[in-house]
């Protein structure tokens, strides 16, 4: 997948790169030759600015789920297990408690992960590192 198509999919989720967009590269780099999507065509500067975030999102989406044992062990090793357990139980959110207590595996893109990261003030890179640690266990 080219950088351009990756970035277009990030900027315009669901864009049909097969039917609504024609990408070309005549030797000077890829460009949008045809744009039939209903949304405004992204400018070259918008595409360039969005590429790092698009790449990070694609890398994050490629992170494989980890088992409950792997995640809990990783959280213990980085000193967050008890903090997360307390945050979940103290939240009063029954669905969050179910999500944490009953999960057989943890997926990087899960809304529970994003919520806990925000509550704990963790960056995407820090959460990615926890998933990498969990995958190594």
Helix axes 81-90, 94-102, angle to 10 degrees: 150
Cα separation, 67 vs 70, whole angstroms = 5
Whether residues 77 and 23 share a domain: the answer is no
- Specify the pLDDT at position 1: 56
Domain C-terminal end among 61, 76, 99: 61
How many domains is the chain built from?
Answer: 2
Which of 46, 61, 76 represents a domain boundary (last residue)?
Answer: 61
**Does residue 71 share a domain with residue 38?**
no
Spell out the residues 6+ positions from residue 52 whose beta carbon is closer than 8 angstroms to its own.
none
Q: What is the model's pLDDT at position 49?
A: 95
Q: 10: domain range? A: 3-61
What residues of the chain score a pLDDT lower than 50? none
Q: How distant, in Å, are the alpha carbons of 11, 13, 117 from that of 123?
A: 21, 23, 7
Q: What pLDDT sits at residue 20?
A: 95
The pLDDT tens digits of the residues spanning 23-47 come to 999 998 899 999 999 999 999 999 9
104: DSSP letter: S
């Amino acid at each position: 997948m080219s950088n351009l198509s990756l970035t277009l999919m990030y900027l315009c989720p669901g864009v049909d790169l097969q039917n609504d967009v024609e990408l070309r590269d005549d030797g000077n780099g890829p460009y949008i030759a045809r744009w039939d999507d209903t949304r405004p065509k992204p400018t070259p500067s918008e595409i360039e600015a969005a590429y790092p975030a698009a790449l990070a999102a694609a890398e994050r989406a490629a992170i494989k789920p980890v088992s409950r044992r792997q995640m809990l062990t990783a959280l213990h090793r980085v000193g967050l297990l008890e903090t997360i357990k307390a945050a979940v139980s103290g939240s009063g959110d029954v669905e969050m408690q179910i999500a944490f207590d009953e999960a057989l595996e943890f997926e990087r893109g899960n809304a529970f992960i994003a919520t806990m990261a925000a509550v704990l003030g963790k960056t995407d890179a820090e959460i990615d590192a926890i998933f990498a640690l969990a995958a190594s266990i």
